[in-house]
A and B are shown apart, each in its own frame.
Chain A
Amino acid sequence: AQSVTQPDIHITVSEGASLELRCNYSYGATPYLFWYVQSPGQGLQLLLKYFSGDTLVQGIKGFEAEFKRSQSSFNLRKPSVHWSDAAEYFCAGSLRAGGTSYGKLTFGQGTILTVHP
């Protein structure tokens, strides 16, 4: 069965510091991969997505993610964190088009990011 794992439940960083959130996937073939952000009491907003091609993906709000097939990882990074980045972050995967995939997303457990001033 497909799975997405986020090993870190909670991460705390200082404002201005760099950030890396980890995501590992387990699929029979390379899935589509996504990072979503959820601010308190809000819905989910897509940060970025990986389909194919360039393994470094740029997203909104200054985030980027790197796809590493050899490590089955899709880690999210930001060079300098702002206080407004405090939120919960979800990594998700879906099977590639075709068959009965229909874009069903499998989510990781989420990582809560706290930003200290």
Chain B
Amino acid sequence: NAGVTQTPKFQVLKTGQSMTLQCAQDMNHEYMSWYRQDPGMGLRLIHYSVGAGITDQGEVPNGYNVSRSTTEDFPLRLLSAAPSQTSVYFCASRRQGASTDTQYFGPGTRLTVL
């Protein structure tokens, strides 16, 4: 199993540009989520999904859109990038049904918005 994969690893955008961060998992996990990591703030939840067709907002959803058309994929879209979205983005997945199950994290995408 590849686990949780994210592409790209690095990205530089100009203010106002749009892009999609890709996340895929091959563990048949129902639950997937996106976090952003900023220095001194830990990781904060952006959006999450409990299955195909079901998404919900986390702690910091503004400026981001998500959709979940398949179990495997959970892309994160920035419609109009802003410098405040400069961050490292992590995707995670776990089995649904038990909060005790381990969440598996991808390697991250480092995004810079100029």
Contact = CB atoms under 8 A, between A and B. Distances in A.
A88 to B, nearest CB: 10
A109 B41 contact: yes
A19 B100 CA distance: 26
Q: How large is the interface on B (under 10, 10 to 19, 20 to 34, 35 or more residues)?
A: 20 to 34
Interface in A92-115: 92, 94-97, 101-110
A51 B100 contact: yes
Given A43-B90, A43-B108, A97-B98, A103 B42 contact: no
Interface in B32-46: 33, 35, 40-45
Contact of B42 (A49, A97, A110): A110
Is the contact region of chain A dominated by helix, strand, or loop, or is it mixed? loop
B100 A43 contact: no
A32 interface: yes
Contact of B48 (A4, A90, A104, A106): A104
Contacts of A94: 99
A105 B43 contact: yes
Nearest to B107: A43
Interface string B7-49: 0000000000000000000000001010100001111110010
